[in-house]
Every structure is written in C-alpha cells, then in structure tokens.
Chain A
Amino acid sequence: MSGENTVREIGHDEFDPYGTLALILIYFAILSVMWVFMYFVEFLGNDLTVLA
C-alpha cells in the first residue's frame, strides 16, 4: 500500500506522532504569545479606546 521508498511499515498502534506533538506545541506557544501581544499591547495599548 505504501510507496516505493518505504523502508518499514508502521501501523496505527505502533505509531506515536511525537514529532507532530512537538511541532504543534511550539505552534501553540507562538499563538498564545502573539495573541497576548496583539491584544494587550497593540490593541489595548493603542490610542482612542472606543468606549461606547
């Protein structure tokens, strides 16, 4: 079922996508930091807060 370059078959139960987990945790961290920065510094720190 897999391509010509397969050197080993890995089934669902023996596959732990820990590389993916690591990448996605990095993504999560970036998103969280950027959100806090954008909301609290860029937006709330900006001029002319709309009050009503």
Chain B
Amino acid sequence: MNRTSKAGILVGSGMLFVIVWEIRSALGLLVGIDTNPQLYMLLTLAIVGLTAFALAIGLIGVTPETPADEDTS
C-alpha cells in the first residue's frame, strides 16, 4: 500500500496551506487580481483538505523504500 505517514501529511498540509494562501498575495501584488478573501480561504482549505485526504487513503503519494520515520530523541 502506498501510504504517507500521518506526520508527513501534517507537515505537508501546513506547507501547502501557507504556499496556497501566499499565492493570493502574489496574485494581488504582481498581477493585480483581487480575489475574494473568504472564497480564497475556503479554496485553500479545500485544496489542503483534499490533498491530505488523498494522501491518507493512499490515492496519491508513495512511501520510500525504507520507513521514513524513526525515533531520534
């Protein structure tokens, strides 16, 4: 099964959220497109949520050959 670890989903979702939301500022400043904030936030959450869900059920993403997680502390 191609499953991504819970930790990977959490970290990836955090990064994806920030990146997608920052794109709104980039669109506004660079291209001058004024997106609706509520709509854009909903869109961001939807993208992040769907990606996380897809990762969780193994629709997308593959685990590396070795387990990526171990205890280091």
Chain A interface (Cβ < 8 Å from any Cβ of B): 3-5, 7, 37, 41-42
* B interface residues (Cβ-Cβ under 8 A, vs A): 29-30, 65-67, 70, 72
**When chains A and B are docked, how far (Å) is the Cα of A3 from the Cα of B68?**
12
- In the complex, A16 Cα to B66 Cα: how many Å? 21
Cα–Cα, bound, A39→B67 (Å): 46
Query: In the complex the two chains form, what is the Cα distance from A43 to B43 in whole Å?
Result: 31
With a cutoff of 8 Å between Cβ atoms, the chain B residues found around residue A4 in the complex are 70
B70 touches A7 (CB 8 A): no
Classify the interface of chain B: helix, strand, loop or mixed: loop
For B72, the chain A residues whose CB sits under 8 A away are 3
- Contact yes or no, A37 B30, CB < 8 A: yes
Q: Is the CB of A5 within 8 A of B66?
A: yes
Residues of A close to B29: CB separation below 8 A: 37, 42
Give the distance in Å from the alpha carbon of A41 to the alpha carbon of B32 in the complex: 12
Contact residues in B for A3 (Cβ distance below 8 Å): 70, 72
